[in-house]
Structures are given as structure tokens and as C-alpha cells.
């Protein structure tokens, strides 16, 4: 059965999110090819997009809940606090769980390596710093979910939901706090 145009609308509305994520991947590929190790903040700014939270939210919301309107999609800019904290927390969980394996495969430096390179700190200190940022990210994300917003409540809770699911899925790989 061929879907009606209205059924395709949610996917069409997130094309700009695909483009933003693709550009973030391209930036990471350029860093890799040039052997460039970013500053920690520069890494996080790109990770806000490369982690895929804007795209994931834009695609999953209409499929999980009700149809999302173009107006709602437009209300979720890539720099919105809600999406920002969900993306940062998601990204840092991923980095804590997969950083060593990705480094062995020759991937670009992750948040831990960027922090170590910028500050000259040990891996242990960097990992503890990342854990603190994850904790701060959860506090900020929860605060954002409780704020009155013009976004429908299901969008705000989905941001938290996706991070929670990712956390649970990756938690067995997290090294213990030192």
C-alpha cells in the first residue's frame, strides 16, 4: 500500500535535521582526516547534532505519539535548552560507554580524549569530569521537562525518555566511578 502524503509529512518535516546531522558527520570526518583534536567545547557543540537527538525526536515523536505539526517541529531549534541537554547527556553516555572501543578502531577523539588533550588531565580525571557533566545534564534536562512550554508535553518527555533508554542500554559498559 502506498502511504498518503499526510503520512509522509513527518519525515519530510525533518529533512533539515538530516542535513544538520550529515554536516556534523562531515565535520567529524574532516577532523579525522586532518588529525585534528578539538577543544572539549567544540566537540560538544558538534555532538549536539552528530548524536542525532534532533533527528531522533523529529522522527520518533509522530510515530510514537500523535502526529507532530510543522509548527511543533519549528519550535524545536537545535539550540533549544531541552534538546541541548538531552543531546549532551546522550552524547556523554555514549562516549563513556564506547570511547575505548572507538579509539581502538581509529575513530575521532571522543569527549574524554578531547578533555584530556585540552586540560592535560589523566583519563581517570577526565572520566570523572564527564560523569559530573552527565549528572548536571540530567538535572538540567529534568528542570526543562518541568518548565511550562508551548511544546506539547509529550515532546518534552520524549527527550528525557530517549536519554533514559540509551542510559539503560549502555549502562553495563560504563566503568565505575574512580
82-133: pLDDT as tens digits: 778 888 888 898 888 877 777 777 778 889 999 999 999 999 999 999 999 9
User: pTM here?
Assistant: 0.71
**Cβ neighbours of residue 2 under 8 Å, at least 6 residues apart?**
none
3-class DSSP state for residue 91? Answer: helix
| Structure-model confidence comparison of residues 72 and 39, the more confident one | 39
Residue 56 has pLDDT above 60, yes or no: yes
Domains of the chain: 8-173 (1.10.600.10)
Decide: 51 and 94 in contact? Cβ < 8 Å: yes
**Distance between CA atoms of 66 and 45, rounded to whole angstroms?**
30
Decide: 54 and 79 in contact? Cβ < 8 Å: no
- For the ranges 50-59, 90-99, 142-151, the one whose mean pLDDT is highest: 90-99
Decide: 8 and 33 in contact? Cβ < 8 Å: no
- Please tell me the predicted confidence (pLDDT) of residue 172: 43
**Cβ neighbours of residue 19 under 8 Å, at least 6 residues apart?**
none
Mean pLDDT of 138-153: 74
**Distance between CA atoms of 93 and 90, rounded to whole angstroms?**
5
Residue 32 has pLDDT above 70, yes or no: yes
Amino acid at each position: 500500500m502506498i502511504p498518503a502524503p499526510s503520512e509522509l509529512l513527518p519525515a519530510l518535516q525533518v529533512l533539515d535535521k538530516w542535513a544538520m546531522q550529515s554536516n556534523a558527520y562531515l565535520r567529524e570526518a574532516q577532523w579525522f582526516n586532518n588529525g585534528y583534536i578539538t577543544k572539549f567545547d567544540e566537540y560538544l557543540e558538534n555532538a549536539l547534532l552528530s548524536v542525532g537527538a534532533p533527528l531522533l525526536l523529529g522522527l520518533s515523536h509522530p510515530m510514537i505519539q500523535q502526529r507532530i505539526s510543522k509548527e511543533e517541529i519549528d519550535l524545536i531549534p537545535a539550540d533549544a535548552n531541552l534538546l541541548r541537554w538531552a543531546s549532551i547527556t546522550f552524547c556523554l553516555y555514549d562516549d563513556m560507554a564506547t570511547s575505548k572501543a572507538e579509539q581502538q578502531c581509529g575513530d575521532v577523539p571522543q569527549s574524554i580524549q578531547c578533555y584530556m588533550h585540552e586540560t592535560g588531565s589523566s583519563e581517570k580525571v577526565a572520566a570523572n569530569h564527564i560523569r559530573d557533566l552527565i549528572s548536571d545534564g540530567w538535572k538540567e534536562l529534568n528542570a526543562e521537562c518541568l518548565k511550562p512550554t508551548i511544546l506539547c508535553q509529550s515532546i518534552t518527555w520524549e527527550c528525557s525518555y530517549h536519554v533514559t533508554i540509551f542510559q539503560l542500554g549502555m549502562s553495563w559498559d560504563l566503568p565505575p566511578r574512580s
